Every structure is written in C-alpha cells, then in structure tokens.
Amino acid sequence: MNATVITAVLLDLDGTLVDTAPDMGAALNELLSDYDLSPVDYETYRSRVSHGAKGLIDLGFGTEFAEQNFTTLRHRFLQLYAQRLCRETRVFDGFLQVLDILEARGVPWGIVTNKPAGLTEPLVEQLGLMKRATCVVSGDTCARAKPDPMSLLHAAEILQRSPASCLYVGDAERDIQAATAAGMRSLVASYGYLDAADRPDAWRADGLVESPGEILDWIDAWHSRSRY
C-alpha cells in the first residue's frame, strides 16, 4: 500500500470532536463565584478551552493569582467540571456522520487528547463513543502529552498503523506540533477553539478545515493526488 494513503484518523477531543466549552466555562464561572468574582462570558472563555484548566483559570483569575494558588484552584475546578461533565457538551455538528463514513470505509479512528483519563473516559462513554473509538489516549496515558508526539505514536501502535499513514486533526498549535513530530499528516480544525491571536497558517499543517465534513473532502483530495 502506498505510504501516503490515510489508513487511520486520530482526533483531538475538546474543540475538534466535541464541543465542551459550555460545561468547562460553566465550571469556571462556578469557581469564580466561590471567590465572589464576576463570570466570564461565553465568547471570551470559548477560545481558551483548548488550553485546559490552566488556561481557563489564568483567564478567570489573572496569571499572578492563578500561579500562586494553582493547585487549589485546579482541584476545585476539576471537581466542579466533573459534576457537570456532559450536561451541555455535544459532538460537533456533522461529526457523527463523518465517523459513520470512516467506519463504513473500514478506516479506524481514535481520540488523542491532553485531557486526563478520569475526565476523558466518562465523557466519551456518556457521548456513546467509547465502543466506537479504536483507541482513546488521554493526557496521562503516556509519560508525556502533546506537543510531545508520544501519545500520537502510542495511538498509532494501538491501531497497528504506521504514523505516516495516520491523519491527526486538532485545533491547537501543540496538536500540529505533535503530529509533525510523529510523522503524521495534520489538519487544523478552524471551527474549534482558536484564539484571535492564533495564526494557524503558520503552524505548517497539511490543511485547514472549517467543518467536520471537510475532513473527508481533504482525505479524498489527498488520495487523488497520491495516485499521480
């Protein structure tokens, strides 16, 4: 088989496969309420969700206070988030159809996220995706998380695919850095949680998609080019 053919698709979770912003933002605002601080509006916190607990805590409390009290704040934030893990979280529109088509084509797909397993696995289970995903690699599955390529290489090993034949889709620069270091093709999910300051064109991904369905379009176009 031509090494350039995409034989597996790996996906970031927050901001790529799943829209977790409403629940993560609500947890942040509950935490801010504990400290009698004003809530952060949706449009402001949405772009920070891909940066996880630290990014949201820095946003809500300011970097100095967040750094001084990070362990306490993170512990409480994760407690609050776990209590509402999947109240408003949904798979991005159109992505279930993409997964259906990948499965119909016999292309395995998996999840590689920096989210800890204690949150990732129950969330994926509640969304009905745990039995469908060929692998779920969390931020604490391996010794090093993205942008290190270790978790992506681990996923490729589980899928029994060469890294060169895997496509990774993510919405943060560290996703593209990890994919590049792993020797995988990569796409930026521009519909995800990009910040106004982000410059995805400079991340050197293989492409950029504005909706989940465009992932399939890109794969089809890539395979057409690889024949020549």
Query: What is the tens place of the pLDDT at every residue in 113-140?
Result: 999 999 999 999 999 999 999 999 999 9
Average pLDDT over residues 13-19: 98
pLDDT (0 to 100) of residue 65:
96
Q: Active-site residue among 12, 19, 23, 171?
A: 12
pLDDT digits (tens, 9 = 90+) for 22-70: 999 999 999 999 999 999 999 999 999 989 999 999 999 999 999 999 9
Give the mean model confidence (pLDDT) for residues 190-212.
96
pLDDT in tens, 61-120: 999 999 999 999 999 999 999 999 999 999 999 999 999 999 999 999 999 999 999 999
Query: What is the distance between the alpha carbons of residues 221 and 215, in angstroms, rounded to a whole number?
Result: 10
pLDDT at 151: 98
* Catalytic residue of the set 14, 19, 171, 175: 14
CA distance 193 to 153: 24
Q: For strand 166-170 and strand 8-11, is the pairing parallel, antiparallel, or unpaired? A: parallel
Task: Verify whether residue 12 is a known catalytic residue.
Answer: yes
Q: Which tokens go with 123?
A: 């969330």
How sure is the predictor about 4, in pLDDT bands with cuts at 50, 70 and 90? Answer: confident
Asked if pLDDT for residue 228 goes beyond 60, the answer is: no
Residue 206 has pLDDT above 90, yes or no: yes
**Residue-level pLDDT at 225:** 81
For range 212-219, the mean pLDDT:
98
Tokens 């992505």 label which residue? Answer: 95
Write the CA distances from 181 to 81, 89, 106, 151, 198, integer angstroms. 32, 30, 26, 11, 20
Spell out a b/e string for 155-171, using b for 16 or more CB atoms within 10 Å of the CB, else e: bbeebebebebbbbbbb
pTM of the predicted model over 0.75? yes
50 vs 215, residue with greater confidence: 215
pLDDT for 203 beyond 80: yes
Which segments within the chain are labelled E, that is strand? 8-11, 18-19, 90-91, 109-112, 135-137, 166-170, 185-189, 207-209
User: Are the C-beta atoms of residues 90 and 18 closer than 8 Å to each other?
Assistant: yes
CA distance 224 to 210: 21
The pLDDT, as a whole number, for residue 1 is: 42
- d(CA 126, CA 2) in angstroms, rounded, equals 37
CA distance 22 to 150: 30
Q: Please report, for residues 91, 162, 174, the alpha-carbon distance to residue 68 in angstroms, rounded to integers and kept in the order given.
A: 35, 43, 25
Please tell me whether residue 158 adopts helix, strand or coil conformation: helix
Two tokens, residue 146? 């993205």
Cα→Cα distances 82→70, 131, 187, 221, Å? 18, 21, 29, 40
Better-predicted residue by pLDDT, 161 or 4: 161
Instruction: Specify whether 41 is catalytic.
Output: no
Condensed to tens digits (0 to 9), the pLDDT of residues 153-188 reads 999 999 999 999 999 999 999 999 999 999 999 999
